[in-house]
Chain A
């Protein structure tokens, strides 16, 4: 390619406390191209991004943007040089408007350097930016609090673009999006590349990486493994490069010794403000997947079963006996476990120790069993392969995967009959995902009924014995294990006339 690359990073090296997390990694981004960056959690993707974003200073290595060598001591310097980053955790002020968020720290002013903020220009520029991204329906003056996650992400991207970015890094941009919102993101990315912006796309979702990226770089244990055109790679090869494990062993096989038993959890015509007329059964030893678009009422259904939302219509039963829960506490007493979607906000007390978190549920609901649970917990945690230097470590310092394992340990301690899982593998690395899947199988062997919500179709299809699909708060239908992604998606969107294509 004759033109200069948008960004060249060479020999990027970084260590924290003597621990090398990134060693001699090279990366070249070309204008108008999407470059995928993949690797397990802890492979060094985030560290690399943060160095390019000016959050971390590299120990060694140089960054050249548009032919000029640069060094960043602060995120703002990186942005001024044309490198913007959309982090996984949004950096937005909820109580401020879209315009105020985008121009924060560089509000345009009238009459020179000490004049008042030019709010009219701020709004105009914001509307232009949003229009340039092809987004309608967002107003510059809307409070960010009132936006959906997808809309907030659009604001983040608009903010990144507003720096006249030549390079935009996106960290797991689809982690919080539903499938149809991913379309919006794709169209925005296409517009950006058409304008000659180089995109560094970090994602766990390989399907997206293949759909979007021209080139893919694989990192493993802080080292560069490969950079190849996407066309020369298959998903299986990519996973092997990432973990040294092939795709076929990705989902543990359904064990032969599991007998699907009697009905554990049954819902009959259950309805309230969020879901309506839901009738379903989950049997002992069965994993039922709950698919659907974000906002289709999947989370709300689990919350209703667990007692977060009152049941207005219909009835529930557990092991044949009527189940009446009006609070999560009663849900726990009935031996329901609920692994929430947002583990940082609802699953864990981040600044408490691993042990305290793992014992949290038992301690508050079955205090007399705490002693026993405390004795067993080290074994449970090591069985789950929680990597930590001690049980006293605060969970906020654990990786996402290890945090999720602590959440699981916390719920195993009540010896549940039914486990409700909401996005059990969101934002965790491939190894931890595998452990979660194995655990689900182990649970079924013990006769536990598992009801799992997931936005990742391969996961739903690979793990479930049956797949229930939700649409607009009601059950749209049921599909057998191993159905195609198209079939699930068609049912979830209500699309008709979809060809029976082969799943990717």
Chain B
């Protein structure tokens, strides 16, 4: 291949992740602790799982050219509904989980229909739905509500060999499933197509409503799953847990950091997971170093802006310089005349 084989953004993000981990290990070591200790790895992976699930959903929504700002309120609502449904009893788990996820799916469905049929931009549609949900939570729930069932709490503490929490395994499974969906189903291909150019997709006979709705439904359901994982750790439903976690902006930031175009049509779940990991590692090391909260946010903000600046630089379409750099290959015709030996061609 003579075409410029530049590092793709997914590879880049994982290189950055390795660098961040290395620096974090050193900084943690300076504090007299071990970054790779069992407890710390567990903590980092746990921190990744909730934001990770939400960010996977956000990736889908952004890929299809929309946006979901309602995730923090959906998460809060889901913890309250699930905890209220379980009332601390194992026997209530199936019904509570099904109800919670179904409610999330309905919320996603409404947003998807607003975006695809009424052509409301996802930013506004999800902002509106988020406000509605947040208003409902604010008037109906004060303080914590309900209780997680013991089995769910057990799940929050369980893991593989004491290193990998079950929550992280759930994240990986979801990431793999969504990646397979994106790469190997028509739905996935069409998600990219609609995000890339809705008109092109429509002119090619793609039904543009379905992938948009599907992305929003999956995003809300994944937010619901994330809420269940949160509930397994906190034990009670909280009407403010989502907004405290700032999952709307953090998930969008992780998606963008992972190399997905904010305008849609390009990106991957693998990249998003890398973005989430970078945030989790940064948070962890800043926690160990007892960095003050302002500086934490400062670093997060800096990382996002730098990342986007780097991507923007890379994605500028440039004609390759002729002098002092290699040129791209010239298209050849098998049967065509050779370029140099071409003769006058007017008929």
Contact = CB atoms under 8 A, between A and B. Distances in A.
Interface of A: 74-76, 79, 91-96, 100, 104-107, 109, 116-117, 119, 134-138, 142, 145-146, 148, 150-151, 154, 179-181, 183-184, 187, 207, 210-211, 271-276, 297, 300, 472-473, 485-486, 489-490, 493-495, 498-499, 501, 503-504
B333 A134 contact: yes
Contact of A472 (B183, B205, B322): B322
Size category of the B interface is 35 or more
A485 B345 CA distance: 9
Nearest to B1: A139
Interface stretch (B22-30, B184-192, B221-229, B286-294): B184-192
Given A93-B193, A100-B192, A499-B343, 6 more contacts: A79-B205, A104-B201, A184-B333, A273-B323, A498-B343, A499-B344
Contact of B323 (A137, A473, A485): A473
Interface in B295-347: 317, 319, 321-325, 328-329, 331-337, 339-347
Interface centre among B180, B196, B201 (most CB of A within 10 A): B196
Contact of A135 (B193, B317, B334): B334
Contact of B346 (A105, A117, A473, A501): A501
B193 A75 contact: no
A489 B323 CA distance: 23
Interface of B: 3-4, 180, 183-186, 188-190, 192-193, 196-197, 199-201, 203-206, 261, 265-266, 317, 319, 321-325, 328-329, 331-337, 339-347
Instruction: Return the 3 tightest CB-CB contacts between A and B, nearest first.
Output: A273-B321, A76-B205, A95-B266
Contacts of B332: 136-137
A374 B261 CA distance: 40
Interface centre among A154, A273, A485, A504 (most CB of B within 10 A): A273
A76 B200 CA distance: 12
A136 B184 contact: no
A154 B319 CA distance: 20
Contacts of B188: 117
A41 B75 CA distance: 56
Contact of B192 (A93, A136, A138, A503): A93
Nearest to B8: A143
Given A76-B205, A183-B345, A96 B333 contact: no
11 contacts: A91-B200, A93-B197, A104-B193, A107-B189, A145-B317, A183-B336, A183-B345, A274-B322, A485-B344, A493-B339, A503-B346
Contact of B184 (A92, A119, A148): A119
B205 A74 contact: yes
A499 B193 CA distance: 50
B331 A150 contact: yes
A183 B333 contact: yes
Nearest to A159: B204
A272 B324 CA distance: 9
Interface centre among B185, B199, B336 (most CB of A within 10 A): B336
A272 B319 CA distance: 13
A473 B325 CA distance: 13
B42 to A, nearest CB: 35
Nearest to A211: B347
A489 B183 CA distance: 47
Nearest to B207: A105
Contacts of A119: 183-184
